[in-house]
Structure 1
Amino acid sequence: MLYRLNLAALTTESFVDFYDEQQYFVAPVLAWQISDRTRLTLEAEYLARPKTFAQTGLPVEGTILPNPNGRIPRNRSISGPDTQDNTYSIRAGYNLEHQLSENWQIRNAFRFSRYNSQREAIGFNGLAADQRTAERYYQDYDNDDEFTNYFNVDTYIVGEFATGSIRHQLVTGFNLSHRRDSQTGVFGEAAPIDVFNPVYDQSRDEVTFPYDNLSLTDVLGIYVQDQVTLVDNLKLLLGLRFDTFSQTTRDHLADTEVGLSGNAFSPRTGIVYQPIEPISLYASYSRAFNPVSGISFEGDTFQPERGTQYEIGVKADLNDRLSATLAFYNLTRSNVLTEDTRPGVPPGQFSIQTGEQRSRGFELSLGGEILPGWNIIAGYAYTDAQITQDNFLPVGDRLTRIPQNTFNLWTTYEIQQGSLQGLGFGLGFLFVGEREGELPNTFLKIPSYFTTDAAIFYRRNRFRAALNIKNLFDIDYFETGSAFDVFYSEPLTVQGTISWEF
């Protein structure tokens, strides 16, 4: 009998006014080796994140775009004090494994999770004509009424066998899941404030939009996959999954109920070939199927999301410590949810489905040890992501918040000998290109940014200490944004850590 107990606690503030957050985490694990062939693992987890802060961001005018009144400070809070955004989650389950023989094993796993929210938020709903008065809304929902319950059971057999000189690794089984989403709350107008000289008035008008929805989704999946080794340097993957689902969505306020059901086959294939030992060439094709819970602003259910992906690539071991990977891909997704920003729709609460999205591009990565003590991780990605079919959004519009170009580099050097052995230094760079801020695309674009990070660390035996510096040159940049608001990323941040292994 083996056991483990994980505990964590955190309290933190932020560069944004009135931000205060705590986190409490408990996760026990119990493993019972019933026999030399049977093992049962029980796991549980509890996470609480009480937080005083529920802001939706800062206005576009005065951050990304010019404002005749000046620039809005990045520490400004639109919500003000006494707003809450508390979340709680519970997870529990087991994993039962039994060795049928030397080459065959059966596994049964169960997972339950519950996610609760309690929110008393005041958010931003646009600037008035004077470009300084922020129109605001409030949103309330109760912890007992806003939740997600998820049950999942997975049972499968894994086995190895041979047909002549061809070796097989077979996986086959079924998956059953049940999801229950409840959304209950109210929207209304809150008192406006001057974003340049705020006097926080937390008064609220009458409720303008109540909602009370329940969504139930059941999915049964049956799958089989065979990884075939034709020869030592050539492997083939063949897989097929069948899903059938049923979904019921209830609007308790309108006293309506709508249902949806369907099924789909999702194949999966792949091949890996090594012409020489350091070089691996691969190609893959896969289809995906995912039922989507919730309803639109009009009360309609969402169709399941579908996806198709093609990928080819090469991995090269430059030496025994350094490797590089180059991958090209084409991913098409249909019925993808995106935020509903139409006039009259409560901000951030509802979604609409796009007809079809396509993302294609390539990724190049390099990682490993160049010289003794000198390590590097580097990557570049080019992404062309756009709408390819839709009844409402213009075809060809780029997807929001997805940069066309990104680059990252992180390198460290650790002294290998002498009195300073274990002392190391790190330096990193990150470039994220320009991104679209809304669909349909307008003049609003989230600017690109380039940041620098650094570190000094020391480790000897079981002791380790580190000083990490994020955003070394204190660059103002926006991590994400939309047509309504944008979010500043963290300014210069210094974090020190000390640890001991035992």
Structure 2
Amino acid sequence: MRKLSLGILLVFCNLFATFAGEIKGVVFSKSGERLEFVTIQLKGTNTGGTTDSRGRFNFRKLTNGHYTLVLSSVSYKTKELKVVLPSDNGVVEMDSVILEPTTQELSEIVVTGNASKYNTRDISNSIRLGQPLLRIPQNVQVVGNQIMADQQIVSMSDGIARNVSGVTKLEHWGDSYTRINMRGSRAAAFREGMNVTSSWGPLTEDMSYVERVEFIKGPAGFMMSNGEPSGIYNVVTKKPTGQTKGEATFTYGSYDFYRAAIDLDGKLDQTGRLLYRFNAMGQTTNSHRAHEFAKRYSIAPVISYQLDPKTKLTAEYNFQYMQSSNIGSYYAFSPDGYATLPQDYSILEPGLEPTTVNDHTLILNLQHQFNKDWKLTAQTAYFNYNRQGSSMWPGSLSANGDMIRNVSIGDAINEMKFGQLYLNGKAQTGQVSHTVLAGFDAGDKHAWYDWSKSFALDSIGTYNIYNTKYNGGSPYYGYPSFDRSKSLKERANNTQITQSYVGLYLQDVLGFFNDRLLLTLAGRYTYVKDSSYGTTQTKERHFSPRVGLNFSIDENTSVYALYDQTFSPKMGMLRSGKKVKPITGNNWEAGIKRNWFNNRWSTSLTVYQILKDNETSSDPQNTPQESYLIQVGQSKSKGVEIDVQGEIVRNLSVIANYAYTDYKVSKSVNASQPVGTRLPGYAKQNFNIWLKYKFTQGMLDGFSLSAGQTSQLDRSSWNWGSTLNNTQSLPDYFRFDAALGWRKNNLNLALNIYNVFDRYLYSGSPYGNYYYWQSEAPRNFRLSMSYSF
């Protein structure tokens, strides 16, 4: 890693003298949709390219002067734009280039400065809706790559939740697995529009190859009709843009954090039909807890080929590797309550077998544009997650602190296959417009687990959590050795989880009064088969309706209402041996959205209520080797969500959000969870804010200051919290972060300080006769340097 870091620094030195001007922008249709595959040529030169999937283009290494951009696309008139680049190091940003099918216009634009882009108007193609955010009758929030860069977010579990109202991350196996909750329960993990959620997974995505993360609240009808009604988060990866450019980044931080990443984007032929994108990352870090470490690297090549002006094929491969200390080391345990041990306390024994994960993803995507109104997309994917290692948990913990630490085998294989075919189109019948979505999707998930073998490190009295003089490295019973002579698939006789499904869906958005009033009518039929842990296979069929209204008060303001439905066939058993019933969820939602000051910033206000029948949760009586569920009857989640995002005044960018969540049992079939019982896994009130001010004049030109705060009030633990036998409740959570940045042309430096006030922050839960929790790091920092070329 140090050699790689030195190499990147040499690249910076060699390229420092090549600073040059830049012209970039976004191309829209008249209706506000971002246009991809638009050909853009610098008139009188050989320089050109095409817009990416979000309508963006970028020309680098330009000298000052006058330029003419020639834009052309199928079904649109050619358009010329005159641009003045004021200096060799200047940046021209063209926020809203609009192509109209019937007119040509010649415009001159002189732009200075480089505005912070926290706001976005659209969602990715993988969400399939084909509508700008303002017109979607649902709360959808997007966290883009500039937000992630400013906050130095390096993985999906690394603080991204703070940017969206009501979204929290629950503790689990460190950075190897991200558990996102919103609206009271777990949000499904999606990758490029495919549901990759599994019992423990997927492997946390590294942000080096991620373009944006989209949070869709509620069932999302056509996509989530077989899943939790709380919503999804959809990870969208970086794709070729048609522009020749690159960026190298090196980061150093607390606890021996070293990270190097490179992003290359360009053409493989002179015509611009064959494009590539390549991202690679290497990272190593220790922890504030003793003997804890993680090493990761990833590679993510993408190739796209424009078969003809209307057809594009994209092939994407992602590989992630992780080696870490025992995944149970993140937890602390005490019979006396939360945070009763030092913040850096660890039960980890040095010398234990590390955990290794190999994670492969292959995605093929074919898009065919019949004409400007109709587009067909076909997508197939294969995911393979393979983990070998072990976990730790107390075999026993007495009131005086004597613990027997058990180490169990923790191997897993997770294979997933997906196929999707969907059609987006527009039509007109009289005075009514139609935005049509029709599709088919199928998936097959198969997971094999082995945690059957366990090994005690200690005998009674040889390890005590309060013994500060204990030196690790010689456990009483020595180190475990697990028999892996048989393959995992042979070992996992009764520890398999399988699910296969097919779905058909149809949605029509009817536009009235020149599309000021939009009526969404949709339905999905889903057939699911699943089995788990040796239980009998179950089959479920369900029709899920979706009805929405969106009214545009003006071109920047809309109000909406939505009814959506989902169902979730639960894989698991009750302690009685019976199979759990599938969850059905009904979501009612209403809200108002507005874009302010030429889309510089946006706001949304949402109220919702979700009713879930046959609600399930982990049985509080489970031992570490048990995974029984309980069903509580019906639950009701209701709340209010407020989001603000964008540049509210010149040079001041803001991300602010607030959520009030109330999640309780509304009908009970279990005496231990009567009506009114609070359900686990959320905070009743969440408030987050991130401010960034960029200086553009005087001696401070190029500098920026950022500060952020996140609060979680009245927290419910993962496992019943204060409702279980009068146990302690989690305290309120307050965290403050800050950052200092400097940008000069293509060089960017950033210093981020996390947990500025050095608080003992954690999340956890009661468990039997003791408590467990995971502590966050005390005050720590990251210093990064990146260079764009």
Query: How does the TM-score come out when normalised to structure 2?
Result: 0.58
Does residue 138 (structure 1) correspond to residue 407 (structure 2)? The answer is: yes
Give distance in 2, aligned partners of 1:199 and 1:62.
23
Give, as a single letter, the amino acid of the residue that structure 2 aligns with 1:338: S
C-alpha change, 1:368 and 1:107, in structure 2 (3 Å) is closer
Does residue 329 (structure 1) correspond to residue 619 (structure 2)? The answer is: no
Give distance in 2, aligned partners of 1:493 and 1:481.
25
Secondary structure, counterpart of 1:419 in structure 2 = helix
C-alpha change, 1:335 and 1:462, in structure 2 (3 Å) is farther
Name the structure 2 match of 1:59: 333
C-alpha change, 1:295 and 1:199, in structure 2 (3 Å) is farther
Contact 1:317 1:324 in 2 (8 A): yes
Contact 1:481 1:487 in 2 (8 A): no
C-alpha change, 1:299 and 1:96, in structure 2 (3 Å) is farther
Using the TM superposition, give the Cα deviation of residue 384 of structure 1 relative to its aligned residue in structure 2, in angstroms. 0.3
Name the structure 2 match of 1:220: 502
Does residue 385 (structure 1) correspond to residue 663 (structure 2)? The answer is: yes
Counting only pairs closer than 5 Å after superposition, residues 122-201 of structure 1 correspond to structure 2 as 122-130=392-400, 132-142=401-411, 146-188=412-454, 190-192=456-458, 193-197=463-467, 198-200=470-472, 201=475
Counting only pairs closer than 5 Å after superposition, residues 66-465 of structure 1 correspond to structure 2 as 71-81=340-350, 82-130=352-400, 132-142=401-411, 146-188=412-454, 190-192=456-458, 193-197=463-467, 198-200=470-472, 201=475, 203=477, 212-231=494-513, 232-249=515-532, 251=534, 258-293=536-571, 300-320=578-598, 321-344=600-623, 346=625, 349=627, 351-392=629-670, 393-395=672-674, 396-437=676-717, 438-439=719-720, 441=724, 442-465=726-749
C-alpha change, 1:292 and 1:404, in structure 2 (3 Å) is same
Is 294-303 or 231-240 further displaced after alignment?
A: 294-303
Give, as a single letter, the amino acid of the residue that structure 1 aligns with 2:735: T
Give distance in 1, aligned partners of 2:386 and 2:575.
22
Give distance in 1, aligned partners of 2:622 and 2:364.
47
Report which structure shows greater RCO (CA 8 Å, sep ≥6): 2
Contact 2:366 2:378 in 1 (8 A): yes
| Residue deviations 1:215-270 (CA, integer Å, cap 9, x gap) | 3322110000011211232112111000012224463xxxxx61211200011111
Give distance in 2, aligned partners of 1:425 and 1:202.
52
Give distance in 1, aligned partners of 2:410 and 2:511.
54
Give distance in 2, aligned partners of 1:302 and 1:44.
37
Contact 2:533 2:572 in 1 (8 A): no
C-alpha change, 1:211 and 1:18, in structure 2 (3 Å) is farther
| Residue deviations 1:78-99 (CA, integer Å, cap 9, x gap) | 2322153332211112111122
Give distance in 2, aligned partners of 1:205 and 1:460.
54
User: Please, what is the CA RMSD of the aligned residues?
Assistant: 2.6
- In the alignment of these two chains, the number of paired residues is 486
| Residue deviations 1:172-201 (CA, integer Å, cap 9, x gap) | 121111111212231435244211224542
Q: Percent identity?
A: 25
Give distance in 2, aligned partners of 1:359 and 1:126.
36
C-alpha change, 1:412 and 1:386, in structure 2 (3 Å) is same
Give distance in 2, aligned partners of 1:176 and 1:206.
40
Give distance in 1, aligned partners of 2:653 and 2:425.
38
Contact 1:453 1:472 in 2 (8 A): yes
Give, as a single letter, the amino acid of the residue that structure 1 aligns with 2:594: A
Give, as a single letter, the amino acid of the residue that structure 2 aligns with 1:328: V
Give, as a single letter, the amino acid of the residue that structure 1 aligns with 2:380: F
Give distance in 2, aligned partners of 1:262 and 1:419.
66
| Residue deviations 1:121-151 (CA, integer Å, cap 9, x gap) | 2223553031x11233221034xxx211111
Using the TM superposition, give the Cα deviation of residue 404 of structure 1 relative to its aligned residue in structure 2, in angstroms. 0.6
Give distance in 2, aligned partners of 1:125 and 1:217.
32
Give distance in 1, aligned partners of 2:581 and 2:531.
12
Secondary structure, counterpart of 1:481 in structure 2 = strand
Give, as a single letter, the amino acid of the residue that structure 1 aligns with 2:620: T
C-alpha change, 1:273 and 1:343, in structure 2 (3 Å) is closer
Moved over 6 A (4+): 204-207
The runs of 5 or more residues in structure 2 that have no matched partner are 1-273, 483-491
Give distance in 2, aligned partners of 1:343 and 1:294.
13
Name the structure 2 match of 1:40: 313
Give distance in 2, aligned partners of 1:374 and 1:101.
41
Give, as a single letter, the amino acid of the residue that structure 2 aligns with 1:474: D
Name the structure 1 match of 2:780: 493
Give, as a single letter, the amino acid of the residue that structure 1 aligns with 2:788: E
Give, as a single letter, the amino acid of the residue that structure 1 aligns with 2:346: S
C-alpha change, 1:460 and 1:58, in structure 2 (3 Å) is same
Give distance in 2, aligned partners of 1:369 and 1:383.
28
Is 147-156 or 478-487 further displaced after alignment?
A: 478-487
C-alpha change, 1:422 and 1:335, in structure 2 (3 Å) is farther
Give, as a single letter, the amino acid of the residue that structure 1 aligns with 2:645: G
Name the structure 2 match of 1:254: none
C-alpha change, 1:419 and 1:124, in structure 2 (3 Å) is same
Using the TM superposition, give the Cα deviation of residue 108 of structure 1 relative to its aligned residue in structure 2, in angstroms. 1.0
Contact 2:326 2:390 in 1 (8 A): no
C-alpha change, 1:475 and 1:422, in structure 2 (3 Å) is same
Using the TM superposition, give the Cα deviation of residue 339 of structure 1 relative to its aligned residue in structure 2, in angstroms. 2.9
Give distance in 2, aligned partners of 1:315 and 1:280.
5
Give distance in 2, aligned partners of 1:351 and 1:87.
28
Name the structure 2 match of 1:68: none
Contact 1:79 1:123 in 2 (8 A): no
Contact 1:59 1:126 in 2 (8 A): no
Give, as a single letter, the amino acid of the residue that structure 2 aligns with 1:111: A
| Residue deviations 1:154-181 (CA, integer Å, cap 9, x gap) | 1111111000121111111211111112
Using the TM superposition, give the Cα deviation of residue 316 of structure 1 relative to its aligned residue in structure 2, in angstroms. 3.1
Give, as a single letter, the amino acid of the residue that structure 2 aligns with 1:453: D
Give distance in 1, aligned partners of 2:360 and 2:787.
29
Among residues 449, 464, 476, which one is paired with 2:760 in the alignment? 476
Give distance in 2, aligned partners of 1:487 and 1:250.
28
Give distance in 1, aligned partners of 2:278 and 2:312.
19
Give, as a single letter, the amino acid of the residue that structure 1 aligns with 2:316: E
C-alpha change, 1:378 and 1:102, in structure 2 (3 Å) is closer
Question: Greater strand percent: which structure?
Answer: 1
Contact 2:381 2:419 in 1 (8 A): yes
Give distance in 2, aligned partners of 1:13 and 1:337.
37
The runs of 5 or more residues in structure 1 that have no matched partner are 66-70, 252-256
Give distance in 1, aligned partners of 2:615 and 2:295.
33
Question: Greater helix percent: which structure?
Answer: 2
